[in-house]
């Protein structure tokens, strides 16, 4: 019996703290409902040559080809994944003209736990050209930059 009383006493002593915590969590949840809370993103890129882009993301950067989107036997787009990150790549349908510039003003900032110098060496060994060699940044990361075939800029950083 003594054990049960001690157990009840502990529960009673913790009850006010639990109620205060529940109230705090409820207040935070109400605040969170007023702001957007995302858990992931998957950018969709329009490219000039889908097959060239697939090869570049797969062979140069090391993405893995996922889902394929076809219509009437024609490949229109694909999903490319690297760890938890997904890029969707779609063939331009040219409805906005063949001279449409892509990639201008767009940079994807990606984080990795991998060694940036080894990653840079692998990218170069696979035919890639870095826009920026591995660099230590003042905010504590080490990163590299590369441009895809359509000019989309990608920075890959190890936050250390």
Domain presence at residue 36 = no
Whether 16 and 69 share a structural domain:
no
Whether 145 contacts 132, CB under 8 Å: yes
Query: Domain total for the chain?
Result: 2
Closest CA to 48 of 87, 105, 104, 93: 93
Whether 27 and 63 share a structural domain:
no
Per-residue pLDDT of the chain (160 residues; tens, 9 = 90+): 454 444 444 445 556 666 666 666 566 666 677 899 888 899 999 999 999 999 999 999 999 999 999 999 999 999 999 999 999 999 999 999 999 899 999 999 999 999 999 999 999 999 999 999 999 999 999 999 999 999 999 999 998 7
Q: What local confidence, expressed as pLDDT, does residue 109 receive? A: 96
Residues spanned by the domain of 139:
44-158
Assessment of whether the complete model's pTM goes beyond 0.85:
no
List of residues 6+ apart from 110 with CB closer than 8 A = 82, 85, 154, 155, 156, 157
């Amino acid at each position: 019996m003594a054990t049960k009383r001690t157990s009840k006493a502990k529960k009673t002593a913790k009850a006010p703290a639990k109620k205060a915590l529940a109230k705090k969590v409820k207040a935070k949840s109400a605040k969170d409902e007023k702001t957007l809370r995302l858990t992931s993103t998957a950018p969709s890129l329009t490219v000039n040559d889908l097959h060239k882009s697939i090869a570049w993301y797969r062979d140069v950067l090391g993405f893995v080809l996922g889902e394929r989107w076809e219509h009437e036997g024609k490949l229109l787009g694909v999903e490319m994944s690297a760890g938890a990150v997904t890029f969707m790549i779609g063939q331009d349908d040219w409805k906005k003209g063949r001279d449409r510039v892509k990639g201008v003003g767009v940079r994807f900032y990606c984080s990795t736990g991998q060694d940036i110098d080894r990653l840079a060496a692998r990218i170069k060994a696979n035919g890639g050209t870095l826009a920026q060699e591995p660099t230590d940044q003042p905010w504590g990361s080490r990163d590299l930059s590369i441009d895809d075939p359509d000019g989309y800029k990608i920075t890959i950083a190890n936050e250390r």
